């Protein structure tokens, strides 16, 4: 570990690190467990100009200030260094953890705003995520999610032009499958297994958010895309917030086009085929 990083942690935390150990995860910079001389254990993310760490700190603080979702407390945040309290974990995402998660996520989705988006652009997987406040969810989802990320993937050479044309056709037909939600809901925005921390059969915390106000179904869809949450989660969630018919049959796959496009932009590969299959399923 470079001396300047140790000095930065000491200056931001008010106590020098006596031990640093690498941690897995995180799309932005290096991640460490920092044990300080004063006895605290923090998570340190190290980046640089334009890394997005300051935005990550903003998002965690926004969730702490505007919801009851358990997240790490932010000690310091700028693009070179993000310091957060450490959340200790044990065990995986069991049925009991899913049930607890459903209570927390349903309460998060009860936090509302006047428009979709956010007053601040955010990041997802290290990628810029625009959030210009918009009165219409269909317009926001079309322009700032599907078309924006599709063009990002196209410009990166990972999405074929022919598939982008099909995505544009699909995006122009969203009203065939989607209706405007009753109101915008605050979402975590990146709810997959690596960002869900558990301990002793309960949720310990959520990390690495990509927040904005949305149709909450886009969160539910992503939580199911890679098998993070399943039947125990949805059974409890719908006790709090019933789902309109058609979510599992159509809207789940439709909404998962966005995280799939994020993965195409980041990785390409088999995710391109997943986007193609989804578009074909919806006749595009």
- Residues recognised as catalytic: 190
Mode of pairing for the β-strands spanning 41-46 and 81-85: antiparallel
**Partners of residue 41 on adjacent β-strands:** 35
Cβ distance 47 to 39 under 8 Å? no
Give, in degrees to the nearest 5, the angle at Cα 250 between 181 and 216: 30
Cβ distance 83 to 54 under 8 Å? no
Three-state SS annotation for 171-233: HCCHHHCCCCCCCCEEECCCCCHHHEEEECCEEEEECCCCCEEECCHHHHHHHHHCCCCCHHH
**Cα dist. 227→25, 167, 231, 254 in Å?**
18, 25, 10, 17
């Amino acid at each position: 570990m470079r001396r300047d990083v140790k000095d930065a942690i000491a200056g931001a935390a008010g106590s020098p690190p006596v031990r640093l150990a690498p941690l897995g995860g995180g799309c932005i910079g290096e991640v460490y467990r920092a044990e300080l001389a004063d006895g605290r254990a923090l998570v340190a993310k190290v980046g640089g100009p334009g890394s997005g760490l300051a935005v990550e700190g903003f998002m965690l603080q926004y969730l702490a200030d505007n919801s009851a979702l358990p997240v790490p407390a932010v000690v310091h945040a700028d693009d070179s260094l993000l310091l957060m309290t450490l959340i200790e974990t044990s065990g995986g995402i069991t049925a009991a953890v899913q049930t607890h998660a459903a209570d927390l996520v349903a309460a998060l989705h009860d936090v509302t705003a006047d428009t979709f988006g956010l007053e601040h652009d955010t990041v997802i997987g290290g990628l810029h995520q625009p959030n210009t406040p918009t009165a219409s969810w269909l317009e926001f989802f079309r322009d700032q999610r599907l078309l924006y990320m599709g063009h990002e993937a196209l410009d990166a050479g990972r999405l074929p032009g022919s598939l982008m044309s099909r995505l544009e056709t699909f995006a122009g037909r969203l009203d065939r499958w989607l209706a405007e939600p009753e109101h915008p809901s605050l979402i975590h925005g990146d709810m997959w297994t690596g960002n869900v921390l558990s301990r002793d059969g309960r949720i310990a915390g959520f990390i690495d958010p990509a927040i904005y106000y949305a149709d909450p179904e886009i969160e539910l869809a992503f939580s199911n895309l890679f098998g993070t949450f399943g039947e125990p989660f949805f059974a409890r969630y719908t006790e709090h917030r019933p789902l309109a018919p058609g979510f599992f049959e159509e809207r789940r796959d439709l909404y998962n086009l966005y995280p799939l496009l994020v993965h195409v932009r980041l990785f390409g590969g088999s995710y391109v085929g997943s986007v193609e299959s989804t578009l074909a399923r919806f006749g595009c």
